[in-house]
Chains A and B, each alone.
Chain A
């Protein structure tokens, strides 16, 4: 076992390496940006579904969602569940460096998943994979289409 002194040295070096590699740079800011962006998306969805929620047709549940990110460490963010009858559509943030995007939330229902990516200066977009991958801005209309599709309507 290492002595307390050598452990301290190890931790000091680890901290220095992370600072040098830029892993710490803007960490808190990045976490806050993710939280804000996810909140914006979920708040928009809640707004678009409000008429149905008010009539008890759908139920929305926002819950803390903890997961680990290589760069940002343990994160406690939010997930959103939209309950329609016996079906549940689950929105959950993904960690890791997302290619070409600053964040990603997956919209999942059963074995169907539709990724939603946050593109720099362009906001949230659905990522529609097919022979040609394309993106579609998340709007009330496109969200409605996505929800219908993922629920098998």
Chain B
């Protein structure tokens, strides 16, 4: 299998999020300035009270944040899946590679991120258990976002994109020889 190599790296996604955040902030300031000077505003903003303008841009920031979180989590999943398939191809002798090959015989590429791939890591590397547990918790956020947010999630905490990035980074730091997260 050949892998699509032009995926944005996690650090690039992080930078993109920061720049888009700054763009939204800048747009809000520009709009507020136009309103204060009684200049025409974009039709989407027309007629808004100051509270509504603030809510409009807060909504934009929140949507940007959830989009960034989903992209970072998707990239974390992609890195782990590419590692899985690479280990199967390389036929490595380490315990995880052996377990992956057995898994591949049974399921090929149709493996679950949580109950298959992460379960193997925890089974063979007890030291990564805590980081994987933390990541598993944030997978509830990924699941909720990826399925259209049609239910009220029980996430246990608020995850900002920065938190998601840090949690994924901590997990990869605990997984030996998994490359691609940068």
Contacts and interface: CB of A to CB of B under 8 A. Distances in A.
Interface of A: 94, 96-101, 104, 115, 117, 127, 132-135
B111 interface: no
Interface in B149-182: none
27 contacts: A94-B49, A96-B49, A96-B51, A97-B35, A97-B36, A97-B50, A98-B47, A98-B48, A99-B31, A99-B34, A99-B35, A99-B41, A99-B47, A99-B49, A99-B53, A100-B35, A100-B41, A101-B46, A104-B49, A115-B47, A117-B46, A117-B47, A127-B47, A133-B43, A133-B44, A134-B43, A135-B46
Interface residue tally on B, bucketed by range: 10 to 19
A99 B50 CA distance: 8
B45 interface: yes
B148 interface: no
A94 B47 CA distance: 10
Contacts of A104: 47, 49
The 10 closest A-B pairs by CB, nearest first: A100-B41, A117-B47, A127-B47, A100-B46, A99-B48, A99-B41, A99-B35, A96-B49, A99-B45, A133-B43
A94 B36 CA distance: 17
A96 B53 CA distance: 11
A100 B50 contact: no
A143 B44 CA distance: 22
Interface string B20-45: 00000000000100111010110111
Nearest to B31: A99
A100 B44 CA distance: 10
B46 to A, nearest CB: 4
A98 B49 contact: yes
Given A98-B49, A100-B35, A127-B47, 6 more contacts: A96-B50, A97-B35, A97-B50, A99-B34, A132-B43, A133-B46
A127 B53 CA distance: 15
A99 B52 CA distance: 10
A133 B56 CA distance: 14
Contacts of A98: 47-49
A100 B36 contact: no
A94 B45 CA distance: 16
A132 B43 CA distance: 8
A98 B46 CA distance: 8
